[in-house]
Chain A
Amino acid sequence: MRHRVVENKSCVDRGSTPLARRKFLHILISKHSVGFQRIKNTLLMGTDYGTHNQRPSAFPVKDGLFKQRDSARAGTITGRERKRIQRVDLVGVVRFLMMRFLVLFRGTFQGFRHPEFCSLVRLIGGLERADAFQGLQPCWKGEGNEETRQHGDVFQWVELDSLEEARRIASRSVLIRAIFICWGCGRSYQECLDNVLETDPDMEPLLSDGDESFKCVIDGFGRSYSYDDQISKMTFFTPVLSKLKAKVRLKKPAHEIWIMEDVFPSKGHRHIPDRSEQPRQVFLGLKIADGGHHYASSYTLKRRKYIGTTSMDAELSFIMANQAVVKPGSVVMDPFVGTGSIIISAAAFGAEVIGSDIDMNVLRGKEDRDIRSNFSQYNLNFPAGIIRCDLLKSPWRDGSVSGGWLDAILCDPPYGIREGSRSFNEYEVPEELKAGHIPQTKRVRFSDHLVNLLDFAAKNLVVHGRLVFWLPTTPDYSDEDVPTHACMKLVSNCEQVLTMRFRRRLLTFEKFHSLERAELDSELVRLTYGERSTKSAHTNFAATVLRQQHRREETLELPRRK
């Protein structure tokens, strides 16, 4: 039972409260006249800064450090080791200066939370920051199986540089509900209250009686409370709330204090907990940022004028754009654009978008509804290009633009359930027949699209550009089904279960070095994927899921590849 309190206390020792951190930073800057940036640089450069004895008493001490410092005191270490120890201490300093936040996620798409968050850290802070990012830590550390844990995982701890960073991440995330500075937490209301009183967090600016205002919000994940219940829960925290001098205002308060509960239903995760059930985690925190779920709701397919059977859900499209670290001015392409549902999200984030598809009808739309009319509906700049083409016979100057020209490629490749994978037959048409000619298409194996897509991405993306796409699979999926390419590094791979037999995985690749470099090592550039495609779960995907033998891919001839 003590577990949670102890843990939260240690986080306070490391300066989770803004006051403690400000104090510490102040000491550091005045005593050693160095700025935060310099401390960071020192750390990155690997040289040491300061001496041990000048360290303030509140210095962060992690388990591992204790031992090392003891051995240092015992005089058993060499010079080089001492240097390393000082570096480790600096890691401590920087970690100490990081702020710890409580992130409250929405209940959906659990598997996508961590990848989306990491991508956003990268988007806001750049590559270096992303490398140093420590990741999310689930708050629920208790016993339980996969399901009980997943349920509790809407609450996660995260260490970030600043309030500003937290706010910017939250505003782009469609999976985050809100981010908080946690004042206290526990496994019951009593524990939570004790924890707040014991750790005495910094409650500025609510302590001054100026214009500041606040309200209390009760949030039970997965359940709602009657007015009376809410009042009694708030009154429970009177010892804390009574310290606040700010006015209570229910409409548009400047601050919100949330009392959050995680109640795991005793009947299992599919049930709604009943009113008598006790929470297993309780948090009290000051909300500092709202998530960006409004993107998903204002771009919902329900109100979009032009959609088709294959249009991508708005929420998932925004997750894709986040995975691809799309920012204003990025150049983004969907080579299987269909009704344009995926590029809409990229355009909403300020990207210049290009879409292509083999099917002229889907591009042209119906009457006055088409991809362009969707862009007008949302008041977005029109796409830079809508092209009808076959990705297997690409009209792009791939590769010849040294260093690439696309910042991201987002797509849902055709896998033959709704839209067949097809390609045009190439043949000569006599001049006199050309005008009314309908080109023949043929079905194409899904794996050829995959191989081609990775190749296309490697040629056209800028270095550090990302390719984000859906891989349809079945429960037989194995990691070997994921295609590989010498220039492309798999960043994340998350599954969405659609039906018993049908799932898909959102794969995020990053081009990590230029094609020229990979070509130096021609062994590496070989696509390892095509050779074993017959064994993967997505081969014959349409045939398996629809149980239609005539869709098997073995019947298709192998395409000629140069």
Chain B
Amino acid sequence: MRILTHNFMQCPRSKSYPMRLVPTEVETVETEYSGEFIEHMLKRLNWDVLRSTASELELGELPETMPESEESNPEAFKLLHKILMETHVKSGTLVSGDGSTTYQINNYIANMMTTSTDPSTSNEQQKESEDVDME
């Protein structure tokens, strides 16, 4: 899961936003830079949440106010690219704003079920869905 996605997520149970992202394993995957993409995402992102997440994860300090354009602050754009596009959370947890629920991230997959599960035992659910599976 990338930080980009985190910015749009809320706790499905308490509806609190944002959730605290506590990664235990983070990977950086280099991707081609596109200033255009960052610019068009900026309008949709919650800047304060992004800024505090970036600083909590020690990814870098973003300016207090959202940069207007690439020309006005090219460094911030480069940093945004690294934060939004290149940082992948492989494992960790997402904690709802009120601290009531913890969701696991394992193998890049965030498990947002409203009841927590042990990933190793969900085979039984598979059986249940095979009952439905016709082919």
Asked if A309 and B133 sit within 8 Å, CB to CB, the answer is yes
A387-B112, A417-B134, A419-B132 known; A361+B122 contact, CB < 8 A? yes
Known pairs A388-B110, A395-B9; A361 contacts B134 (CB<8 A): no
> Assuming the A-B contacts A352-B4, A360-B122, are A441 and B113 also in contact, with contact meaning beta carbons closer than 8 angstroms in the complex?
no
Which of B8, B122, B129 makes the CB contact (< 8 A) with A420?
B129
Q: Mark A168-202, 1 if CB is under 8 A from B, else 0.
A: 00000000000000000000000000000000000
Tell me the complex Cα distance, A422–B126, Å: 13
The answer for the CA separation of A416 and B135 in the assembled complex, in Å, is 12
B residues in contact with A390, CB < 8 Å: 12, 113-114
Considering only CB atoms and an 8 Å cut-off, how many residues of chain A contact the other chain?
Answer: 51
**Which A residues are CB-close (under 8 A) to B108?**
372, 382, 386
Which of B31-39, B51-59, B61-69, B74-82 is the interface stretch? B31-39
Cβ–Cβ < 8 Å partners of B44 in chain A: 331, 401, 403-405, 462
Q: Is B72 an interface residue (CB 8 A)?
A: no
A364–B34 CA distance with the chains assembled, in angstroms: 30
Whether A434 pairs with B4 at a CB distance below 8 angstroms is: no
- Which residue of chain B has the shortest Cβ distance to A385 in the bound complex? B5
Q: What is the minimal beta-carbon distance from B4 to any residue of chain A, in angstroms?
A: 5
A363–B37 CA distance with the chains assembled, in angstroms: 27
Say yes or no: B107 contacts A364, CB within 8 Å: yes
B86-126 contacts to A, CB under 8 A, are 88, 107-119, 121-126
- With A and B bound together, what is the CA distance between A284 and B91 in angstroms? 60
Residues B40 and A329 in contact, CB atoms below 8 Å apart: yes
Interchain CB contact under 8 A, A437 and B1: no
Q: Which of A360-418 contact B (CB under 8 A)?
A: 360-361, 363-364, 372, 381-382, 384-390, 393-397, 400-401, 403-405, 416-418
Contact A419 B133 (CB under 8 A): yes
Known contacts A426-B114, A439-B115, A546-B134; A385/B1 CB under 8 A:
yes
How far, in angstroms, from A232 to B91 measured CA to CA in the complex?
68
Which of the residues A309, A328, A372, A389 comes within 8 Å of B135, measured between beta carbons?
Answer: A309
- B115 near A429: Cβ-Cβ < 8 Å: yes
Q: Chain A residues with Cβ under 8 A from B9's Cβ?
A: 387, 395-397
Which single member of A384, A416, A435 contacts B5 (CB below 8 Å)? A384
Interface residues in A84-103 by Cβ distance below 8 A to B read none
> Cβ of A359 < 8 Å from any Cβ of B?
yes
Between B1, B41, B110, B113, the greatest number of chain A beta carbons within 10 A of the residue's beta carbon is seen for B113
Quote the shortest CB–CB distance from A339 to chain B (angstroms).
Answer: 13
Which residue of the partner chain A has the closest CB to B19?
A395
CA distance A354 to B40 in the complex (A): 17
Q: Give the Cβ gap from A396 to chain B, nearest Cβ, in Å.
A: 6
Is there an interface contact between A384 and B17, defined as CB atoms closer than 8 Å? Answer: no
Indicate if A438 sits at the interface (CB-CB under 8 A): yes
Is A64 at the interface (CB under 8 A from chain B)?
no
Measured as residues with beta carbon below 8 angstroms from the partner, the interface class of chain B is 35 or more
Known: A401-B8, A429-B115. A387 touches B124 (CB 8 A): no
What CA separation (Å) do A434 and B12 show in the bound complex? 17
For A439, list chain B residues within 8 Å (CB).
113-115, 117, 125
Known: A405-B8, A405-B44. A438 touches B117 (CB 8 A): yes
Judged by a CB distance under 8 angstroms, whether B128 is at the interface is yes
Q: Are B34 and A329 in contact (CB under 8 A)?
A: yes
Decide: B116 and A393 in contact? CB cutoff 8 A. Answer: no
Residue of A nearest to B29 (CB): A382
Q: Which residues of A contact B8 (CB under 8 A)?
A: 396-397, 401, 405
Contact A354 B113 (CB under 8 A): no
Q: In the assembly, what is the distance between CA of A419 and CA of B130, in Å?
A: 8
**Residues of chain A contacted by B107 (CB below 8 angstroms):** 364
Q: Does A79 contact B (CB under 8 A)?
A: no
| Cross-chain contact B1 with A387 (CB below 8 angstroms) | yes
Name the distance in Å between A44's Cβ and chain B's nearest Cβ: 26
Q: A397-B10, A419-B133 are in contact. Are A329 and B36 (CB under 8 A)?
A: yes
Please tell me if A210 contacts chain B, counting CB pairs below 8 Å.
no
A420-450: contact bitstring with B at CB < 8 Å (1 yes, 0 no)? 1010101101000011111101000000000
In the complex, are the beta carbons of B122 and A395 less than 8 A apart? no
Q: Pick from B37, B112, B119, B126: contact of A329, CB below 8 A.
A: B37
* Closest Cβ neighbor of A400 among chain B residues: B17
Contact of B133 among A404, A418, A435 (CB under 8 A): A418
Among B40, B85, B111, B116, contact of A360 (Cβ-Cβ < 8 Å): B111
Decide yes or no: A395 and B11 within 8 Å by CB, A386-B1, A441-B125 being known contacts.
yes
Taking a contact as CB atoms under 8 Å apart, the answer to whether B122 and A424 are in contact is no
A111 to B17, CA, bound (A): 44
The CA of A422 and the CA of B131, in the complex, are separated in Å by: 12
CA distance A363 to B17 in the complex (A): 25
Q: Which residues of B contact A462 (CB under 8 A)?
A: 44
- Select from chain A the residue with minimum beta-carbon distance to B131: A420
Given contacts A395-B112, A417-B134, A429-B115, contact A361 B126 (CB under 8 A): yes
- Say yes or no: A436 contacts B118, CB within 8 Å: yes
Interface residues of A in 273-287 (CB under 8 A from B): none
Inside 8 A of A441's CB, which chain B residues have their CB?
125, 128
CB distance from A191 to the nearest CB of B (A): 51
Minimum Cβ distance to chain A for residue B130 (Å): 10
- Neighbouring B residues of A403 by C-beta, 8 Å: 43-44
Asked if residues B125 and A361 are in contact (CB atoms below 8 Å), the reply is yes
Q: Per-position contact with A for B8-23: 1 when CB-CB < 8 Å, else 0? A: 1111110001000000
23 residue pairs A–B, Cβ–Cβ below 8 Å: A331-B41, A360-B109, A364-B107, A364-B109, A364-B119, A381-B29, A381-B31, A381-B85, A385-B2, A400-B17, A401-B8, A418-B132, A419-B132, A419-B133, A424-B115, A426-B114, A429-B115, A437-B115, A437-B117, A438-B121, A439-B117, A439-B125, A441-B125
Contact surface of A with B, Cβ cutoff 8 Å: 309, 328-329, 331, 352, 354, 356, 359-361, 363-364, 372, 381-382, 384-390, 393-397, 400-401, 403-405, 416-420, 422, 424, 426-427, 429, 434-439, 441, 462, 546
* 4 nearest A-B pairs in the assembled complex, by CB-CB distance: A385-B5, A420-B132, A389-B112, A405-B44
Given contacts A360-B122, A396-B8, 18 further A-B contacts (CB under 8 A): A328-B34, A384-B1, A386-B1, A386-B108, A389-B112, A395-B10, A395-B112, A397-B9, A397-B10, A397-B17, A418-B135, A424-B113, A426-B115, A429-B115, A437-B115, A438-B117, A439-B114, A441-B125
